[in-house]
Structure 1
Amino acid sequence: MSLWGYCVCLLGCCAVVVRGAPGDPPGANGPLGWLLSDKGPFHHSQEFTDFTERYQQGFTTKYKIYR
């Protein structure tokens, strides 16, 4: 195989890997997105649960404001 053919094949394989599996949840972005998905190790932690609830309601800051 020529060098050009090898490069095209390599880029095609990389594009498939970066794109991810079709069954990935929409919130799982990038190769480490599974860490924050429902299958990741953090989905049972209370802080992560609180964060996801606040994020779904539109609050994106991680700081609490005490008044």
Structure 2
Amino acid sequence: MVVRYRIEGGLTDALGELSSRDGLSATLLTRSGSVTINYHDVQLAKEVPPPPPRRSRRLPTPPTG
């Protein structure tokens, strides 16, 4: 999920997996670690699909001839 929330001086986004929530806040696991966001700071939140699976590396085709 992605959450846009207020921080000192503006807004920021957190993109990650929802790991927990309670009556006051939600915690997302992001690439850079765990982020806890108070609900009163949330401006926008939405579920996003998981990233596509990584494709295997393509090796160049040897020249024919």
TM-score by length of structure 2 reads 0.18
Decide which structure has greater strand share: 2
Decide which structure has greater helix share: 1
Which of structures 1 and 2 has the larger relative contact order (alpha carbons within 8 angstroms, sep 6+)?
2
TM-score by length of structure 1 reads 0.18
